[in-house]
Structure 1
Amino acid sequence: MKETKVVNLTNRQHAVNCFNAVWDLLEKVDRTKQEDEEMIHKAHSSFYHWTKVKDVTATNISVGYWQLARVYAVLQIGERALYYAERCLEISFNNNLEPFYMAYAHEALSRAYAVLGKENESSVQKEKCKEIISKIENEEYKQLVENDIHTIESSI
């Protein structure tokens, strides 16, 4: 029993550590190809470890899919970005997650479509995101999504 608790805590810590390491790499201006690959592997590792946490939530999974979508969008791998953005929306919708997470699912879709050069689909998702933003009660969270949605065109 004690060993299971340790494994659960270890998986949770690995998930968090990898997630944070991915953020550091996403924010790095001049990543090398090796760092790009490391970012992909750490994003997948974070997601994997979350799936092994005993009390994982739909929110954890949604955020994991969102981060995978962001990584692939930043790396201009549109098909993978779209795949994970769709998974993010699916888990968020099916679990009736808060507007903050729903908005980010649409942000991920908009960004993935932009990478794929599908401007119309990107615009549709961006508008859905903006509609949901108005439902976010926490002003700081609302600002985070608004800031990210405005970076889509400039980041592609």
Structure 2
Amino acid sequence: SLDLAAVHRQLSAACFNRTWTLIDKPGRTPEETEEMIHVAHASAWHWLERPDNAPKRRSVGCWLLSRVYALAGRTAEARHYALLSAQAATGEAPFYRAYALEALARAEHRAGKAAEARRLAGEARELADGIEKPEDRQNLLDDLEALLR
């Protein structure tokens, strides 16, 4: 019989990785942007179906969805998923809370709300000191810097 837990584990990661390939692709076509959105949703859904699903995992899935919608210029969806990421990150480690704020800042920045984006990025930056892994902390700070350019 099919081990659905194993299938969800494999596909959640494979879809997440494919999403990042498309996020990082220079000159992404409109068709690839749509694929990026679809595969991000697939990743998030497979995470929801995993037995090891937890709020921090939901936070990451919603963060990824917010990111791809921001890249696609669909700011209402980017904001929606950033808010869901923040909700799921409540009570989680600073890494998850900070990245939810980064997603909100990115959505507001893409929506042309620079002051709100700076405020949210500042809140995320304040949480950075509480991030245990130096590499994770630096990635957050780099992402915050890049989104406000």
TM-score class normalised by the smaller sequence: over 0.9
Deviation at 1:15, TM superposition (A): 0.8
Number of equivalenced pairs: 149
Aligned partner letter, 2:130: K
SS at match of 1:21: helix
The yes-or-no answer on 1:126 pairing with 2:87 is no
Deviation at 1:120, TM superposition (A): 2.0
Deviation at 1:76, TM superposition (A): 1.1
The yes-or-no answer on 1:82 pairing with 2:79 is yes
Query: 1:152 — aligned with what?
Result: 147
Deviation at 1:57, TM superposition (A): 1.4
Q: Which consecutive aligned stretches of 4+ in structure 1 deviate over 6 angstroms post-superposition?
A: none
Which residue of 57, 62, 65 corresponds with 2:59?
A: 62
Query: 1:109 — aligned with what?
Result: 104
Distance 2:132 2:34 in 1: 37
Aligned partner letter, 1:117: G
Q: TM-score, normalised by structure 1?
A: 0.92
- Coordinate RMSD, CA, aligned: 1.0
Q: TM-score, normalised by structure 2?
A: 0.96
Deviation at 1:153, TM superposition (A): 2.3
Query: 1:11 — aligned with what?
Result: 8
Distance 1:136 1:41 in 2: 30
Query: 2:132 — aligned with what?
Result: 137
Query: Does the 8 Å contact 2:118/2:148 carry over to 1?
Result: no
Aligned partner letter, 1:110: A
Gaps of 5+ in 2: none
Query: 1:48 — aligned with what?
Result: 45
SS at match of 2:148: helix
Aligned partner letter, 2:97: M
Relative to structure 2, which stretch is displaced further, 54-63 or 10-19?
A: 54-63
Aligned partner letter, 1:20: N
The yes-or-no answer on 1:30 pairing with 2:15 is no
SS at match of 2:103: helix
Identity of aligned residues (%): 36
